[in-house]
Each structure stands twice: as C-alpha cells, then as structure tokens.
C-alpha cells in the first residue's frame, strides 16, 4: 500500500507544481500586458524645404514653343483665310520675311547636309499647301530684338 500512496502523492505533487508554474506564467504575461509601453523617442522635425523651382525657360525655348505651335496652326488650318492670318502672325516673330530656313536632311560626324535653303515665308506657304508639319526646330538664332534671325529644322 505504501507504494500506491507514494505514487499518488508524487502524482499530486507534480500536478500541483505544474498548476503553480502555469499560474505564475499567466501572472507574468498579465503584468507585461498591463505595463505601459515606453514613449517613443522624440522625432526631430526637419523643416521641409520647397522643391527647387525649375529654371525659367530661355528666350530661345519660348520662341521654339511659340513657333512649333504656329507651324502646327498653319498646317492644320481649315481654310486659306485662317492659314494666311496665321502666317502673318508667325512672320511677326521673325526679323524679316526673308529669314533663312535650313532643313537638315542628313548629318554624319557633325557634318550636316541641308536641303535647298528657303525663306520663312516660303516655308509657311509650303505648310499651308501640304497641311503637314513634318519638321521640328533643332536650332534657332535670335537677334538683339528677340526676333528669329535663322532657323534650322529636322525631320520628325
């Protein structure tokens, strides 16, 4: 009988020890949940600098944009009257009606081959007749008054 009693006492002791370990573990986890979290370290505020403004467009860039729009307007005009009006407005941007327009047809190793030179008036009339603007401005020269004195075009 003593063996039975020892075994049951041992079992009871082990079960009691297991319950106590579980109870202690449960208490610790509750304490961790109840304890407040430490405050995060203060973050330094960095003043946001506004993004740098893009540089103002140069006179050449403004002239190129206006001329591209004018060329497209002449080419897309619905009738001759509107096209002629657009041509006159565009000619006001040039130093004179005979301003040279050079069209690059080929370039190799920095050497450019040009189509037959023309004037701005002839080029605008060509745009009016063909109703297609197949070139873009690759180089522009302005005189002291801010008017176009030479124009170089390339195929798109």
Which pTM was predicted?
0.66
Query: What torsion do the CA atoms of 135, 138, 144, 145 make, to the nearest 10 degrees?
Result: 30
CB 104 within 8 A of CB 152: yes
135's CB contacts (< 8 A; 6+ apart) are 71, 103, 153, 154, 155, 156
Per residue in 94-153, pLDDT (tens digit) is: 999 999 999 999 999 989 999 999 999 999 999 999 999 999 999 999 999 999 999 999
Weakest-pLDDT range from 32-36, 69-73, 146-150: 32-36
The topology under which CATH files domain 59-155 is Nuclear Transport Factor 2; Chain: A, (3.10.450)
Per residue in 40-70, pLDDT (tens digit) is: 777 677 677 777 888 888 889 999 999 999 9
């Amino acid at each position: 009988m003593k063996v039975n009693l020892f075994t049951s006492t041992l079992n009871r002791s082990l079960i009691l020890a297991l319950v106590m370990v579980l109870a202690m573990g449960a208490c610790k986890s509750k304490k961790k949940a109840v304890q407040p979290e430490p405050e995060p370290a203060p973050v330094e505020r960095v003043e946001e600098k506004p993004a740098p403004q893009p540089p103002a467009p140069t006179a050449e860039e403004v002239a190129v944009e206006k001329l591209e729009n004018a060329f497209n307007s002449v080419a897309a005009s619905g009738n001759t009257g509107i096209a002629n009006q657009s041509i006159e407005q565009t000619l006001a941007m040039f130093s004179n009606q005979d301003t040279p327009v050079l069209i690059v047809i080929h370039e190799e190793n920095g050497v450019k081959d040009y189509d037959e030179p023309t004037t701005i008036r002839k080029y605008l009339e060509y745009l009016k007749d063909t109703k297609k603007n197949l070139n873009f401005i690759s180089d522009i020269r302005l005189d002291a008054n801010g008017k176009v004195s030479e124009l170089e075009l390339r195929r798109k």
